[in-house]
Structure 1
Amino acid sequence: MKVLIYTVWPVPFWEVPKSQVLRLRERFPDVTFTHALNDGEALREIEDADVALASRLTTLAVQRAPRLRWVHSTAAAVGILPLRDLAARGIAVTNSRGVQAITMAEHVMGGLLVLARRFDLTLSAQRERRWIQNELRADASPWSLHGRMMTIVGLGTTGLEVARCAQAFGLHVTGIRRRPGQPKPSFVDRVVGPDQLDDALGGCDVLVIAAPFIPETDRLIGARQLALLNRGAILVNVARGRIVDEREMIAALEEKRLGGAVLDVFDREPLDSASPLWSLPNVVITPHCSGVRPDHWDDVIELFSDNLLRFRHGEPLLNLVDCDAGY
């Protein structure tokens, strides 16, 4: 059996370390692992590969892979894979969803606490050696998460972890997911389908975007949806920038209809230095790093190893992707 490993990416963190490739070779000595370091090598080596561990593939690569039977994405998002071509060939697709869920949930809550407890103001004052106790009032007053309403768009692995954390802070959580009829977790107050989005946004103090980016979620949150939130609500996006209409979000922030935003993803990345988001006082910007942690690749390779054993034994694979749904 041959496995092609191909994770070339503009951000080095998302490229599988050589040490992890060695780990796979030691764990499966009877499997050939080929680590492609550029597009040309990937196109050549996929020709006789049975499995691909990849962050991305092209239609041409799939066409050149007559033996290919399974692709495992090193990420949770699979939109960069040619899902239609893979499905047409009956090639199984799995992803790494869940690996980043706890880390991303911590990121959501950390950013939210920065704005709720006004750490943005106190840290700035600290650098200037200013004691601003008397300035923390009115719109600048810290506020408590306890008893507030949170709506999570996308109640998958990440959304569930956000909900679990939020409940511990006393937030009341409404989750939106494609299959609302599935059992409701005890730490989620209400689960609704996408057709009830408007209802779920009404009275919302914190809106968390954790959904996959698919045609149905493109610009899902626009001016009308933002207007349904409570005045002063916080928007947190750790999914994909294009799920939110960035222009309308900026307008809502500037007019203080939104109380703030925690943004890890943007329409275009890196975020343009000319973007007004950089200078808005009520915005926390992070560089698409909500899932980053030192042991990330340990868990990705552990998941892939588990699935490789299942694949060899003809057992059901974990984290199968619905190629029609796109996630």
Structure 2
Amino acid sequence: MASSVGGNGYSDVTRVDEVGLEHVPDVIQNYHICVVKNKCIDSDIIAKATKMKIIMQYGVGLEGVDINAATEQKIKVARIPGSTTGNAIACAEMAIYLTLGVLRKQKEMDTAVIQKDLGLPVGETIFGKTILILGFGAIGMEIAKRLRPFGVKILATKRNWSSYTVSCDLDGLVDKKGGPEDMYELAREADIVITCMTLNNESVGIVDHKFLSALKKGSYLINIARGRLLDYTAVFNHLESGHLGGLGIDVAWTEPFDPEDPILKFPNVIITPHVAGITEYSYRTMAKVVGDVALKLHAGEPFTEIEFVN
């Protein structure tokens, strides 16, 4: 869905239209703001956006927007920071939901209910586990806050820890921290890995054969960021061999994901339909940001609610 704001010139009326995905290329020239959810805004579409001032993701991830093409056309591209809208909190809750789901063997429990088996399966507790958070941004921090009461040890990677004004160690959130270069060493200690990194050219497929092989046998993998952070073949092979104890994903390699994909046949794999950040609260707060931006663009005022990337 593409939701756009604008009209003919800057009149006293701000018009909001919901446009079907297939119609976006035909009408985008009429709008000043394009609010992206799942539509890929490529260079061909951007070339037609002759009135466009801002392309804004309804959330955080901008991999579907051709930022270079937008920059060349003097269109600003922005995301809505998850730390201000409840998106990061919602994603953190989903990460814990998926973690508990694979530990307690959700698929096997569903089967046990159908077969009227009581007391099965025997799951695992999260208590005492060592959890590695790959990408300690807004979502990673919210995950750590919520995991701490479970009695776990938390490891985390972040490209630049100096960006925090207060040490996360002093806050008691992280027991051991490192940079991307430390992820293999930290993986050897982890019972559970939660990926919440940004997807870019450097991070595509970063959870690969080398990384998964560094994990303990039986470790669990959770992904609530972007599907392509995980190397599909490596994940499949490590599930098949039993080296990977379980997989919980809210995002997939292609979306919507094929419900007949072989990776979903494993009893220790659970998937949700890319809903980690989708809650009534997060959508309502993001909608307010979109409205405020539209009004400020109309009035020629500066923006403080969104984060520009170009």
Tell me the TM-score normalized by structure 1.
0.79
Q: Would you say 1:96 and 2:83 are equivalent positions?
A: no
Counterparts of residues 234-253 of structure 1 (less than 5 Å): 234-253=220-239
1:125: how far off? Answer: 1.6
Match of 1:158 among 95, 115, 139: 139
For the residue of structure 2 that corresponds to 1:261, the secondary structure is strand
The corresponding residue for 1:53 is 35
For the residue of structure 2 that corresponds to 1:107, the secondary structure is helix
**Bigger shift: 46-55 or 106-115?**
46-55
Amino acid at match of 2:129: R
The corresponding residue for 2:258 is 272
Match of 1:116 among 103, 109, 112: 103
Amino acid at match of 2:236: I
- The separation in 1 between residues aligned to 2:131 and 2:71, in whole angstroms, is 36
The corresponding residue for 1:87 is 71
The corresponding residue for 1:233 is 219
Q: Is the 8 A contact 1:92 1:320 kept in 2?
A: no
Unaligned runs of 5+ in 1: 1-6, 9-14
Match of 2:302 among 315, 318, 321: 315
Q: How many residues align?
A: 297
For the residue of structure 1 that corresponds to 2:267, the secondary structure is coil
Question: In structure 2, do the counterparts of structure 1 residues 175 and 310 end up closer, same or farther at CA, with 3 Å as the change threshold?
Answer: farther
Amino acid at match of 2:137: G
Question: In structure 2, do the counterparts of structure 1 residues 102 and 39 end up closer, same or farther at CA, with 3 Å as the change threshold?
Answer: closer
Unaligned runs of 5+ in 2: none
Q: Is the 8 A contact 1:94 1:318 kept in 2?
A: no
The corresponding residue for 1:205 is 191
Amino acid at match of 2:152: L
- The separation in 2 between residues aligned to 1:169 and 1:309, in whole angstroms, is 44
The corresponding residue for 2:117 is 130
Amino acid at match of 1:182: S
1:215: how far off? Answer: 0.9
For the residue of structure 2 that corresponds to 1:166, the secondary structure is helix
1:232: how far off? Answer: 1.1
Q: Is the 8 A contact 1:217 1:243 kept in 2?
A: yes
Amino acid at match of 1:178: R
Q: Is the 8 A contact 2:81 2:307 kept in 1?
A: no
Please tell me the root mean square deviation across aligned C-alpha atoms, in Å. Answer: 3.0
1:260: how far off? Answer: 0.6
Q: Would you say 1:182 and 2:166 are equivalent positions?
A: no
Q: Is the 8 A contact 2:90 2:282 kept in 1?
A: no
Counterparts of residues 12-31 of structure 1 (less than 5 Å): 30-31=12-13
- Deviation digits for residues 52-96 of structure 1 (CA, Å, limit 9, x no counterpart): 333343324433444433222123211111200222344322213
* Identity fraction in percent: 21
The corresponding residue for 1:75 is 59
- The separation in 2 between residues aligned to 1:115 and 1:78, in whole angstroms, is 29
Amino acid at match of 1:192: G
Amino acid at match of 2:90: T
The corresponding residue for 1:173 is 154
Q: Which has the higher contact order (CA 8 A, sep 6+)?
A: 2
Tell me the TM-score normalized by structure 2.
0.83
Amino acid at match of 1:96: I
1:118: how far off? Answer: 3.8
1:156: how far off? Answer: 2.3
